[in-house]
Amino acid sequence: MTGSKFEFIQGNIACAKGAAYAGCSFFGGYPITPSTEIAEYMSEYLPKNGGKFIQMEDEIASLGSIIGAALTGAKTMTSTSGPGFSLMQELIGYACIAEVPVVIVDIMRGGPSTGLPTSPAQSDLLQAKWGTHGDHPTIALVPSSVEEMFTETVRAFNLAEYFRTPVLVLGDEIIGHMREKIRIPDPGEIQIINRTVPDNSGICPLPYASDSGKPACIPNFGKSRFHVTGLNHDITGFPTMDPAIVARENERILAKIYEQREIVDKWEEIECKDADILMLSVGSAARAAEEAVKTLRNKGIKAGLFRPLTLWPFPKDTFVKYAERAKYIIVPEMNLGQLKTVAERFTKRSKIIPVNLVNGEPISPEHIISVTNYLNI
């Protein structure tokens, strides 16, 4: 812990510091509450540290700018909230098929539309999964604390670079704006993954040829020709309509992530092993769920919390293991039942009890506990 420093900072600032730690050198964005502090921090940090910050005209251009910068070799990020996230959907698909590593932070707020700019919500959980069209891989990480805003942002960069794919970080107004004490890790303390680079020639003739799930390197910008397109393409990067190649490549960009679950999966389980009441919750709602679990355990009720830190792909195997033996699955979330649909998909026997709030207020532990009063446990 030598030289390490404790700081009392906002989740959004921890996110920006995580990006800096991971080596982010380009940020393109458009300010929007409750994510603006991320852009503010990067606008000061990057120019002083050899990086570039650019405020774009809107969120479509913001994601376009970081996709372009990522293709030149930079680690890139943008941050937004629901309305901006909606605008980014088309280019998220582009980054998926063109296999461009970018990090997109969405600090969720009340919606739909302009909604409640300064209030918390978890309104984009399913948009993160299915917002862009076509079958595409999705990695979405959901931090629950200021410390996790730092560590999960670092992990987002690592996964983006490793898989050559966009990675989403879903914060919410509470996690983004609240302050907690964190220790900024020393350099080297958290492993940083960098993308595969071509050999000294800088040439990479087959930028879409993968080696057992590991994507090929991105050619060095300026040294090698590189065709990048949103059309289906072959291993050279040029468009193709060959059904066999189109099918293979569409399946490959999913398989590279979904068949390497040990790299991408991450969850926290609290008292799940003997839980009669299993809670499934993420982000700030999970903090209330965790307190509810503690209170219920003190009353002798076997409650537990399953909290995915990687929400997409959903860590279904472990969830199913606990869901199978639980009598009730409680799903607290600040929306009208998005995570509930996931619980329903992977639960056969247990009764699912949703706990929803969309009034701009956070879900409290008491709210969650109140639904357990009449359960037959």
Partner 1 sequence: MKYEVRFSGSGGQGIILASVILGTAAAIYENKETVQSQAYGPEARGGASKADVIISDEPVGYPKAREIDAMVCLSQKAAKKYITSLKKGGIVIIDSDFVDIPESKKYKLFKLPMSSTTLDKMGKLIALNIVSLSALVSITKIISHEALEKAITDSVPKGTESFNIEAALIGKTLAETAK
Binding site for partner 1 (CB under 8 A): 6-8, 33, 117-119, 174, 177-181, 284, 287-288, 290-291, 294, 362, 364-366
Q: How far is the CB of 280 from partner 1 (least distance, A)?
A: 17
Residue placing its CB nearer to partner 1 in the complex, 6 or 130: 6
Phi, psi of 335, deg, nearest 5: -160, -175
DSSP run (H or E) holding 356: strand 351-356
Give the angle subtended at the CA of 180 by the CAs of 1 and 106, to the nearest 5°.
110
Residue placing its CB nearer to partner 1 in the complex, 65 or 145: 145
Residue placing its CB nearer to partner 1 in the complex, 8 or 374: 8
SS3 content of the chain, % helix, strand, coil (to 5): 40, 20, 40
Name the CA radius of gyration of the chain, rounded.
Answer: 21
Amino acid at 56: M
Query: Count of alpha carbons within 13 Å of 117, Cβ hemisphere only?
Result: 8
Q: How far is the CB of 370 from partner 1 (least distance, A)?
A: 14
Residue placing its CB nearer to partner 1 in the complex, 33 or 224: 33
Residue placing its CB nearer to partner 1 in the complex, 233 or 307: 307
Q: How far is the CB of 108 from partner 1 (least distance, A)?
A: 15
Residue placing its CB nearer to partner 1 in the complex, 34 or 137: 34
Residue placing its CB nearer to partner 1 in the complex, 99 or 333: 333
d(CA 279, CA 365): 12
Q: How far is the CB of 180 from partner 1 (least distance, A)?
A: 5
Q: How far is the CB of 257 from partner 1 (least distance, A)?
A: 32
Residue placing its CB nearer to partner 1 in the complex, 179 or 327: 179
Query: Count of alpha carbons within 13 Å of 299, Cβ hemisphere only?
Result: 12
Q: How far is the CB of 31 from partner 1 (least distance, A)?
A: 14
Phi, psi of 116, deg, nearest 5: -115, 95
Cβ–Cβ under 8 Å, residues 293 and 316: no
Q: How far is the CB of 290 from partner 1 (least distance, A)?
A: 5
Q: How far is the CB of 178 from partner 1 (least distance, A)?
A: 4
Residue placing its CB nearer to partner 1 in the complex, 294 or 325: 294
Residue placing its CB nearer to partner 1 in the complex, 118 or 341: 118
d(CA 295, CA 279): 13
Cβ–Cβ under 8 Å, residues 332 and 283: no
d(CA 318, CA 246): 33
Q: How far is the CB of 279 from partner 1 (least distance, A)?
A: 13
Residues 6+ apart with CB under 8 A from 166: 92, 95, 96, 100, 101, 102, 103, 104, 139, 160
DSSP run (H or E) holding 354: strand 351-356
Cis preceding linkage at 313, omega within 30: yes
Q: Using the Cα atoms of residue 28, residue 34, residue 36 and residue 41 in order, give the sign of their dihedral.
A: negative
Q: Could you tell me which of 60, 69, 13, 73 has the C-alpha nearest to residue 39?
A: 13
Q: What single DSSP character describes residue 74? A: -
Cβ–Cβ under 8 Å, residues 308 and 323: no
Q: How far is the CB of 293 from partner 1 (least distance, A)?
A: 10
